[in-house]
Amino acid sequence: MSQDPGGGIVVRPDDGARVRGMEMVHKVDAGRLEGGLLVMEGGLAPGGLIPPHTHTREDECSYVIAGEVMFQVGEDIVTATPGSYVIKPRGVPHAFWNCGSEPARVMELHVPATFARYYDEVGAIFADSSMTEHERREALEAHHARYGVTFHWDRVPELVDRYGVKP
């Protein structure tokens, strides 16, 4: 990152703190704009799924950088290509998956930035090789509850069957 003369920040393509255990990078963290905005960037392999979930504290917007990504927001299902924005209001269940044959890249914007530590903490849970699968599942459930996120695991089988995604 570098300062511009007007006091702003330039975030270059290779800048940002990587999230351990996940293919995510912090681009604009909560401290940068007084907690008003969090910007993350991540990759999604072909068939990769971010399972259906609902946020109670943040609105989200996804911007597709590369690849072809299918989003389910509420009952609507849309395909987004590079340059597309997908709005995911708080309280509305949503999921997304890479429906293409190439890796996808998605920028996630969270308002407010109450989600700032979420990715680092969940990445640490995934990276902890000492946990059993049961312990990992319990740690993730407690983690999601702390951040006001509810996953809708009962909806995953339908997405797997219909779209061939990998949970």
Per-residue model confidence as pLDDT tens digits over 89-99 = 999 999 999 99
**Is residue 10 one of the residues assigned to a domain?**
no
Residue for token digits 């998605």? 106
List the domain range (segments joined by +) for residue 20: 15-160
What gap in Å lies between CA 30 and CA 113, rounded to an integer? 5
**Is residue 2 one of the residues assigned to a domain?**
no
**Is residue 63 one of the residues assigned to a domain?**
yes
Residue for token digits 């044959």? 101
CATH number of the CATH domain containing 64: 2.60.120.10
Using one digit for the tens of pLDDT, what is the confidence trace for 111-120? 987 777 887 7
Using one digit for the tens of pLDDT, what is the confidence trace for 118-140? 877 888 898 898 999 899 989 99
**Is residue 131 one of the residues assigned to a domain?**
yes
Residue for token digits 């914007």? 109
Regions in the chain scoring below 70 on pLDDT? 1-8, 21, 30-35
pTM of the model: 0.84
Number of domains in the chain: 1
**Is residue 132 one of the residues assigned to a domain?**
yes
**Is residue 6 one of the residues assigned to a domain?**
no
Helix (H) or strand (E) holding 120: helix 118-127
**Is residue 112 one of the residues assigned to a domain?**
yes
Burial 56-66 (b: 16+ CB within 10 A, else e): eebebebbbbe
**Is residue 165 one of the residues assigned to a domain?**
no
